[in-house]
Amino acid sequence: NRQRASKIVRVKSHELENLIGLLNSVSNLCAMENAENSRHLLRRLTQFVRYKHGRRGQLLPLADELAMAEVLFELSRARFGEQLVTEVVCAPGGGVDLNACYVPHYAVLAFVENSVYHAFNDTEPPWRVAVRVRRSYGTVTVVVDDNGGGFDPQPYVHRDGAVRAADAETYGSLPVTLARLSAQFGRGHTVQLESTPDGGTRAEITIPVG
């Protein structure tokens, strides 16, 4: 019906703004650099958009989420240049195959995207975002760190997984992401948020394996 179609095509304004910013960066590269580099970035952007909007609601390997974090970082560095410093580090060990560890789609990328798109408003570069993965027997922990402006984490720290009706359609928002993790893993997972004004944000997500 018409109402459902409206929900499908609606794009949050900040997402559209950032997508336009990325496309403008690629267009500038087309004018200034060789076509091969530009084509590569366009392919990466297409890959990211397809993953973000085409795989909603799926349960996916954690390795896929981390691979898309790399893609998001590559695209963001094309936009911000040396002002943005990023890294994805996966520690070995624990006997854990990240391709066999499944998470809800965008459950990790939501935290990464929040850092890239929102943490650095009204802050000075260099901006830094890091994703680090620790493996141990029975669990995997993903830590997303940034040195951005921070926010008040208290409304989210002790959530029970319930989502207000106003938030229910905001896919990728922090409340919805926490609720989806809770629905998938119940008491078997933890999310710790630490954030201070001008002190950056640290999200630590621990999920069970197997």
Distance CA 207, CA 210 (A): 10
Q: What is the mean pLDDT of the chain?
A: 83
Distance CA 110, CA 129 (A): 13
The answer to whether the CB of 123 falls within 8 A of the CB of 148 is yes
Q: Is the pTM of this model over 0.85?
A: no
Q: Which residues in 111-140 are b (16+ Cβ under 10 Å) and which e? A: bbbbbbbebbeeeeeebbbbbebbbeeebb
Which of 12-16, 83-87, 94-98 is predicted with the least confidence, judged by mean pLDDT?
Answer: 12-16
Longest alpha-carbon distance in the chain: 52
Q: Is the pLDDT of residue 173 over 80?
A: yes
Q: Which residue blocks in 33-98 are alpha helix, DSSP H?
A: 35-54, 62-80
Distance CA 174, CA 54 (A): 20
Tokens standing for 71?
A: 């893609």
pLDDT at 7: 43
Tokens standing for 31?
A: 């004018």
Helix H or strand E segment including 17? helix 13-32
Alpha-carbon torsion (196, 152, 53, 35), positive or negative = negative
Distance CA 81, CA 157 (A): 34
pLDDT at 59: 95
Distance CA 113, CA 118 (A): 8
Which of 50-54, 75-79, 191-195 is predicted with the least confidence, judged by mean pLDDT?
Answer: 50-54
Q: Is the pLDDT of residue 197 over 60?
A: yes
pLDDT at 4: 43
What percent of the chain stands above pLDDT 70? 82
Q: What confidence tens digit (pLDDT) does each residue in 90-103 have?
A: 988 778 899 999 99
Read off the pLDDT band of 29 (50, 70, 90). Answer: confident
